[in-house]
Structure formats: structure tokens, C-alpha cells
Amino acid sequence: MGPFILMYHSIAEGSEDPYTVPPNKFEEQLSWLIERGFEAVSLATIVNLLKIGEYKSLRTKIVFTFDDGYKDFLTTALPILLHYKVPATVFIVAGMLGDKVSWNSHSKHAQLMSEDEIRHIKAQGVSLGSHTMTHSNLAKVDEKKVYQELVDSHITLRDLGESFYALSYPWGQWTNQVLNAVKVAGYECAVTASRKMPLGATEYYCLPRVGIKGDMNLKSFQTLFDGSAIEFARKVGRVVKNFLQ
């Protein structure tokens, strides 16, 4: 059941990184979701619907999120998102804007968006979130460093013109203390890298996400959404129609 918060990283051809999705596959996935009747919304919309307990309408919602802030978001993903008029959130490594990726052995030379490029995508309607300052594993550093990573990137988001504060845990890792620090530092929600997290009125700080990998074909992508309310309605609709005939 939805909402489905999708986790993408880089959108590019010919990468060795398993999390890099080729542009044609990305577009195929996006257009299939829209054809199927899913509505792409912002993370802020999801959190607001959770807060008021609107679970029914959440089932048909999807959110596009992109971790790390790769330059190919600007050159490749954004034109596709704009074409379909789909909102998205990019989780930036706020202290590494314009740098090369240093934490991922598969894409060590991949380029991250510069501050100017981040300002440009923000002006195009893209939401920004924090992926900390240095892509630090918050579950493995001391409390002082946790706060520093969270507070400094929160300030950077504000300076870049963002007003809804969301966090994506680097490496998908957190502890209860980290989760508490995220609240104290003024974030409104945080997303994980696991789809198995519970979703409820108080779970804004460990929202589940569906990770999309580059080797997924359309069929395996589609099975991620099996059992959704829309799929159910479609099946029931067909049964009723057959019965009437």
C-alpha cells in the first residue's frame, strides 16, 4: 500500500553503480506510474496527509526523491520530471556542493551539483532536503558530530531558500538518539532506505522508501506496486465488468 516514496540516486547511462538508473528506464517508470493513476506529490504533502490521518488518499500517492545531488539530476532527470510536471526532492550533501563523490567506490568520479546548480533546480520548483554535510553515517559518529551535521545542513537548506526541512539518512542508518536529534534540529521529516518501516501518524522521522536499482526491468518495477489500492480497484473493476457481461 502507498504512499510510495521512491529512492533514486544517479540517472545516467553505462554506470557500474547498481543504483544508477538509465534515463530511458527512468522515463518508462515515471510514465507507467502516471498512466496507472498514481499522483506524484511532494514530501510535504505526504507529511501533511499523515498528520491529519488521511490514509486513504495516501495510497495513490508517489513521491520522487533523489539522494546525493548528482549533476545528472540537472542534466538528465530534471527535463523528464518537468516534461511530466512531476515534483521531486533532491537530498543534497550540503558541505560537498560541486565536489566529486568520495564515499561511493562505484562512482568516485561522479560530479555533484554546485551551489549555483542547486539554486537553479530550486528555482525550477524542485524541493531540497538534507543528506547531512559530509554524507556521514549518523549512527556511527558521536552526538556532537550528529548535531553539527544536522544543524549546519539545516542552515544551508534555509540559505538555499528551502522552507520544508526533510532529511535522508546517509547509508540509510540511524539510531533512536539520531532520530531524536533530527527532531530537535528542526526537521519536519526524515526518510530511510527501507520500505519495511511502519507508516503512521507519528512516524515522520523514519518514512519508508522504495529503492530503485538500475538493473530493474519494467516488470519487476511494476511488481513493487502490487497490492496497491489502485491495482486492487482495477482488478475489482474488471471482475465486476466481466460479471455484468
**Site residues for Zn ion per CB under 5 A:** 67-68
Q: How far is the CB of 98 from Zn ion (least distance, A)?
A: 16
Residue of this chain nearest to Zn ion (CB atom): 67
Q: How far is the CB of 68 from Zn ion (least distance, A)?
A: 5
Q: How far is the CB of 243 from Zn ion (least distance, A)?
A: 49
* Burial class of residue 194, CB neighbours in 10 A (0-12, 13-18, 19+): middle
* Burial class of residue 92, CB neighbours in 10 A (0-12, 13-18, 19+): buried
Query: Cβ distance 58 to 227 under 8 Å?
Result: no
Q: How far is the CB of 226 from Zn ion (least distance, A)?
A: 27
Query: Cβ distance 192 to 174 under 8 Å?
Result: yes
User: Which C-beta is closer to Zn ion: that of 2 or that of 129?
Assistant: 129
Q: How far is the CB of 94 from Zn ion (least distance, A)?
A: 12
Q: How far is the CB of 209 from Zn ion (least distance, A)?
A: 12
User: Which C-beta is closer to Zn ion: that of 7 or that of 58?
Assistant: 7
Classify the C-alpha dihedral 24-29-30-32 as positive or negative.
positive
Which candidate, 9, 42, 5, places its Cα nearest to that of 224? Answer: 5
User: Which C-beta is closer to Zn ion: that of 61 or that of 131?
Assistant: 131
User: Which C-beta is closer to Zn ion: that of 68 or that of 162?
Assistant: 68
Whole-angstrom CA distances from 186 to 22, 163, 182, 208 are: 35, 11, 7, 20
User: Which C-beta is closer to Zn ion: that of 42 or that of 134?
Assistant: 134
CA angle 39-209-232, nearest 5°?
A: 50
Rounded CA separation 12/20 (Å): 6
The terminus-to-terminus CA distance of the chain in angstroms comes to 30
User: Which C-beta is closer to Zn ion: that of 61 or that of 154?
Assistant: 154
